[in-house]
């Protein structure tokens, strides 16, 4: 019951945008340059997509932590979720600095990811960790593409995305080290399709 109450509390904080960060946002090595309206909107759209990804990461990790019977794995997942809270807060702060907002569909994204995490956790820890591996691989690829698309003068967003990319890659490696397996190709394909729908929608909404 305590675990469910804690998860509900974290879920509400995530969706309300009040989840506290434990680390300050990465700082750019150069001051931001003035962005025109088109550049501002592009940066905001990409950071909104990144924010959605972190909302889903919170749901996935929290659901998996609830589902596992392995106490050490539960602690690992909760620690990873805390790092993702930092990512969530960094993206939210950057969106505010860009005078924009998170996705209007965050409750939908959260609910879907929580359901997937719960099912994966109930199937077994190796499969659950396999979802972490594949999810983090896809997120890392998205972040790499965002580094190519962000305006050159938006150094603050670039610093945040670069740090996130580094930590997502580490999360995938840690999941592999703990016994995560490669998911079947059809499952990976479905995950890519779902991610594509989510990112295209979140780009605007």
137-154 pLDDT per residue, tens = 999 999 999 999 999 999
pTM for the full predicted model: 0.86
The full length of the chain comes to: 205
Mean pLDDT, the chain, integer: 87
Quick check: 158 and 98 in contact, CB under 8 A? Answer: no
Place of tokens 């505010």: 96
Distance CA 111, CA 96 (A): 24
Place of tokens 């780009």: 203
CA 147 vs CA 35, 63, 128, 159, 178: distances in Å? 16, 30, 29, 9, 29
Max mean pLDDT range (159-163, 174-178, 201-205): 159-163
């Amino acid at each position: 019951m305590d675990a469910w109450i804690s998860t509900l509390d974290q879920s509400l904080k995530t969706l309300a945008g009040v989840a506290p960060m434990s680390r300050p946002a990465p700082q750019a090595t150069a001051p931001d340059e003035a962005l025109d309206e088109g550049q501002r909107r592009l940066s905001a759209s990409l950071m909104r997509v990144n924010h959605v990804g972190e909302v889903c990461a919170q749901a996935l990790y929290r659901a998996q932590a609830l589902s596992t019977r392995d106490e050490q794995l539960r602690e690992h997942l909760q620690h990873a979720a805390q790092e993702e809270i930092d990512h969530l807060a960094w993206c939210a702060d950057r969106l505010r600095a860009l005078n924009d907002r998170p996705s209007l569909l965050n409750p939908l994204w959260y609910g879907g990811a929580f359901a997937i995490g719960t099912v994966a956790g109930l199937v077994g820890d190796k499969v659950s960790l396999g979802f972490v591996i594949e999810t983090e691989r896809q997120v890392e690829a998205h972040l790499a593409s965002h580094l190519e698309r962000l305006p050159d003068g938006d150094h603050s967003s670039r610093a945040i995305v670069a740090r996130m990319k580094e930590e997502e890659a580490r999360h995938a490696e840690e999941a592999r080290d703990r016994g995560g397996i490669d998911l079947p190709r059809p499952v990976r394909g479905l995950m890519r399709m779902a991610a594509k729908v989510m990112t295209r929608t979140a780009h605007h909404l």
